[in-house]
């Protein structure tokens, strides 16, 4: 687990003091009203709307370069839209839910009340640092919780900015970014819920640390998301859509297409189309619209993965003419790999960069067998208008989410839950599911003025025998 760059780590005892202050404030002030929760969401919304330039600039600095348009589209817009969505529906989400009462408890009532858990911890990755901070935060604040946030080491500029902005509008015992927090210390705090987004390796460490306090966790862990182009679908149309998602943020996206299946005999067509599409979008990899790899370590890892594939016989096609990886700007060219095999790292590790391996198939069952032999991915993508085929792929595979005839867009749908399964994570959030994940659905049973159960009290006799026989028949 990392810690904030260029800062001494915050001692564990200091983190405990912050948590203690938030816990005591929660107990003192009780469950916040609808008006208080809306006020918190409105504060967050105002911070985002009035600091767009500062936010996009901070994120670009953290990457070395990221176009502000990508931050506006993939982060700021989704955050703002998510807050508005939650704000509009919060009253409905908070309503007590009436539940069915057992037939023999005449006159009694069952109610489920969503109540805040208390203090929620959020560990944020560097690849979409604003969205993956704000998205779970919206669910937590809507549910009435207080929050502590740990940003990634590679997001130092954004972390410093958000810490300053949050401190200006929120009390520290309501919401705070803990700068310089050591990840292992943060995950070990006795939160009422912990949200982590990152690698499966670190996710295991987080879960072990949380287990000591029996802290429930939501883990979003990524993985190798497969993409399939079916024989009935236009290669050109599929390429236009999936290549946008693949090369957005230079492929540094947890739900980016990680490998591609195309029908046998159509690889050359896909490669030719991809060259035309990508070279038009990015005339040069030093172009302002193309994002840098986050740091030297990640950049060198991509070079190593590519070298490993080439040494084992894969063929690389660079989609931007005359472009080569730039060690200074950490710009890595959009690259297709054909002739890949399972012994190559590119098919064993989550790529998290602008390399796309391509495999072919004769029959869809070959594809499904391969997908099912791998860890369950965070997302699965199918390009096909064949409803029967769509149903087969959905029913015969398991993944966190599915997107038909496009890629990654499902993540931005606020009325659908987002989360992984198996190796790609556990739990889910966004929208109402996020509200519920950050709430305790507290069951309340209200007995009637006269309890029907009194007829069942000892000493047992004929009345009991008659009633229990009737109950067992119903």
* Whether pLDDT at 382 is above 80: yes
pLDDT tens per residue, range 231-274: 999 999 999 999 999 999 999 999 999 999 999 999 999 999 99
Residue 122, pLDDT score: 98
Q: Is residue 229 part of a domain?
A: yes
Residue 454 lies in a domain: no
- State the residue range of the domain holding 325: 225-419
Eight-state DSSP code of residue 20: H
Cβ atoms of 191 and 211 closer than 8 Å: no
Reported confidence tier of residue 13, pLDDT bands at 50, 70, 90:
confident
Dihedral Cα 134, 136, 141, 142, nearest 10 deg: 110
> Is-contact 257 239, C-beta < 8 A?
no
209 or 3, higher pLDDT: 209
Report pLDDT digits (tens) over 397-411.
999 999 999 999 999
Residue 180's pLDDT band, with cuts at 50, 70 and 90, is confident
* Structural domain includes residue 319: yes
474 belongs to a structural domain:
no
Region 55-74 average pLDDT: 98
Name the token pair of 163. 């810490």
pLDDT of residue 8: 57
Active site residue 79: no
Q: For residues 86 and 210, state if they share a domain.
A: yes
417's CB contacts (< 8 A; 6+ apart) are 428, 429, 430, 431, 433, 434
Structure tokens at 323: 């472009």
- Catalytic choice (254, 350, 403, 432): 254
Q: How many domains does the chain have?
A: 2
Q: What is the mean pLDDT of residues 431-451?
A: 95
Q: Answer whether residue 16 shows pLDDT above 60.
A: yes
pLDDT tens-digit readout, 191-206: 999 999 999 999 999 9
The model's pTM: 0.94
**Which tens digits make up the pLDDT trace of 317-376?**
999 998 999 999 999 999 999 999 999 999 999 999 999 999 999 999 999 999 999 999
Query: For all residues of the chain together, what is the average pLDDT?
Result: 95
**pLDDT for residue 2 is more than 60:** no
| Whether 193 and 83 share a structural domain | yes
Q: Are residues 314 and 196 in the same domain?
A: no
In-domain check, residue 383: yes
Answer yes or no: do 187 and 235 share one domain: no
Average pLDDT, integer, range 15-21: 96
Largest CA distance in the chain: 93
Contacts of 186 (CB under 8 A, 6+ apart): 1, 15, 121, 123, 148, 150, 178
User: Are 438 and 141 contacting, i.e. CB atoms less than 8 angstroms apart?
Assistant: no
pLDDT at 217: 97
What pLDDT was estimated at residue 72?
98
Mean pLDDT, residues 439-445: 97
The reply to whether 52 and 174 lie within a common domain is: yes
Contacts of 29 (CB under 8 A, 6+ apart): none
What pLDDT was estimated at residue 368? 98
Among candidate residues 70, 75, 179, 220, the one labeled active-site is 220
Note the pLDDT of residue 473: 87
Flag whether 177 is in a domain: yes
The CATH number that applies at residue 258 is 3.40.309.10
- The DSSP annotation for 137-154 comes to HHHHHHTT-EEEEE--GG
User: Would you call 133 a catalytic residue per the annotation?
Assistant: no
Q: Is residue 302 pLDDT above 50, yes or no?
A: yes
Predicted pLDDT at 106: 87
**Domain match, 277 and 385 both:** yes
Q: Are residues 206 and 269 in the same domain?
A: no
Statement to judge: residues 161 and 242 lie in one domain: no
- Inside any domain, residue 336: yes
Return d(Cα 156, Cα 139) in angstroms, integer: 24
**What's the CA gap between 312 and 176, in Å, rounded?**
49
Helix (H) or strand (E) holding 83: helix 78-94
Residue among 273, 257, 238 nearest 383 (CA): 238
pLDDT digits (tens, 9 = 90+) for 98-110: 999 988 888 999 9
Do both 272 and 181 map to the same domain? no
CATH number of domain containing 200: 3.40.605.10
Domain membership of residue 460 (yes or no) is no
Same domain assignment for residues 209 and 259: no
What local confidence, expressed as pLDDT, does residue 6 receive?
41
Whether residue 340 is found in the same domain as residue 376? yes
**Per-position DSSP letters for 299-354, written without gaps between them:** HHHHHHHHHHHHHTT-EEEESSTT---BTTTTB---EEEES--TTSGGGTS---SS
Is residue 431 domain-shared with residue 393, that is, in the same domain?
A: no
What's residue 9's pLDDT?
A: 64
> Which two structure tokens, joined as six digits, stand for 168?
């200006």
Give the closest residue to 209 by CA, choosing from 123, 91, 276.
Answer: 123
């Amino acid at each position: 687990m990392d810690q904030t760059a260029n800062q001494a780590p915050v001692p564990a005892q200091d983190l405990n003091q912050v948590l203690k202050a938030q816990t005591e404030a929660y107990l003192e002030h009780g469950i916040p009203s609808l008006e208080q929760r809306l006020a918190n969401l409105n504060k967050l919304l105002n911070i985002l709307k009035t600091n767009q330039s500062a936010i996009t600039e901070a994120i670009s600095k953290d990457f070395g370069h990221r176009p502000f348009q990508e931050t506006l589209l993939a982060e700021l817009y989704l955050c703002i839209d998510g807050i508005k969505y939650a704000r509009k529906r919060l009253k409905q989400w908070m309503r007590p839910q009436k539940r069915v009462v057992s037939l023999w408890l005449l006159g009694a009532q069952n109610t489920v009340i969503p109540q805040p858990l208390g203090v929620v911890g959020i560990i944020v990755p560097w690849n979409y640092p604003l969205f993956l901070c704000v998205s779970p935060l919206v669910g937590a604040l809507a549910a009435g919780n207080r929050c502590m946030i740990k940003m990634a080491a590679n997001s130092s500029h954004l972390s410093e900015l958000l810490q300053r902005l949050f401190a200006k509008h929120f009390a520290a015992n309501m919401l705070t970014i803990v700068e310089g927090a050591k990840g292992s210390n943060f995950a070990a705090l006795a939160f009422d819920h912990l949200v982590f987004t990152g690698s499966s390796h670190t996710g295991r460490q987080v879960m072990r640390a949380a287990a000591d306090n029996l802290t429930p966790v939501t883990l979003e862990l990524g993985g190798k998301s497969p993409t399939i182009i079916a024989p009935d679908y236009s290669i050109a149309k599929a390429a236009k859509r999936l290549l946008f998602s693949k090369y957005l943020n230079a492929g540094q996206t947890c739900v980016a297409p990680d490998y591609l299946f195309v029908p046998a005999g159509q690889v050359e067509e896909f490669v030719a189309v991809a060259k035309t599409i990508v070279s038009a979008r990015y005339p040069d990899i030093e172009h302002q619209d193309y994002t840098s790899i986050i740091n030297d370590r990640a950049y060198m890892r991509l070079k190593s993965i590519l070298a490993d594939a080439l040494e084992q016989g894969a063929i690389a096609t660079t989609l931007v003419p005359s472009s080569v990886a730039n060690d200074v700007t950490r710009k890595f060219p959009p690259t297709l790999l054909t002739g890949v095999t399972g012994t190559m790292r590119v098919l064993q590790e989550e790529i998290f960069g602008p390399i796309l391996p391509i495999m072919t198939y004769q029959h869809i069952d070959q594809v499904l067998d391969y997908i099912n032999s791998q860890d369950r991915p965070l997302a699965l993508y199918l390009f096909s208008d064949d409803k029967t085929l769509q149903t087969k792929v959905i029913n015969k595979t398991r993944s966190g989410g599915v997107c038909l005839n496009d890629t990654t867009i499902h993540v931005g749908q606020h009325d659908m839950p987002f989360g992984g399964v198996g190796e790609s994570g556990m739990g889910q959030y966004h929208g109402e599911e996020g509200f519920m994940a950050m709430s305790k659905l507290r069951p309340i049973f209200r007995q009637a003025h006269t309890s029907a159960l009194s007829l069942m009290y000892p000493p047992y006799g004929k009345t009991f025998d008659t009633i229990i026989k009737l109950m067992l028949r119903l």
